[in-house]
Amino acid sequence: KIEEKIQESLLRQLHLTAAPVLAKTEVDNLVIPDHVRTKYISLMKHTSEAPFSREK
């Protein structure tokens, strides 16, 4: 159920009708910019329990 809820919520926020299909090669070479990473970490700190994370 929670997986469905995440998908629905993501699609709604990104104004998409279906999950995008991205090739592995496109994502493998992707570098997450510092400002995106900083925003993500700061949001994680605000949530009561930080998710298990690892370097990607």
Partner 1 sequence: RHSQTIAEIMGRFFSDAFNQLLVFSMKDRLPPTKELIQAVLRLFKKPSPQGEIKRHHKMFPFNSYASVTISWVQIRENNTNRTFVIDSRRVSIHETGWITFDVTQAVNYWQQQGEMAKPLVLEVSIHRENISPLFSNAHKLVYFSSQNPADGKLYAPQLELQTLDMKEYGAQGNCNPDIPVTEATRCCRRETYVNLQGLKWAENWILDPPGFKTYDCVGSCQQPKKEHLNFKWPFLSGRQCIATDTASLPLIVAHKEGDKTLTKVVILHNMKVTKCSCTTEGMPVMKKLKP
E strands present in the chain: none
Q: Measured from the CB of residue 17, what is the shortest distance to partner 1 in angstroms? A: 13
d(CA 36, CA 32): 7
Q: Which residues of the shown chain bind partner 1 in the complex (CB under 8 A)?
A: 2-3, 5-7, 9-10, 13-14, 19-24, 26-27, 30, 32-33, 36-37, 39-40, 43-44, 46-49, 51-54, 56
Q: Measured from the CB of residue 22, what is the shortest distance to partner 1 in angstroms? A: 4
Q: Is the dihedral of CA 26, 31, 15, 43 positive or negative?
A: positive
Q: Measured from the CB of residue 56, what is the shortest distance to partner 1 in angstroms? A: 6
Tokens for 23, please give them: 């090739």
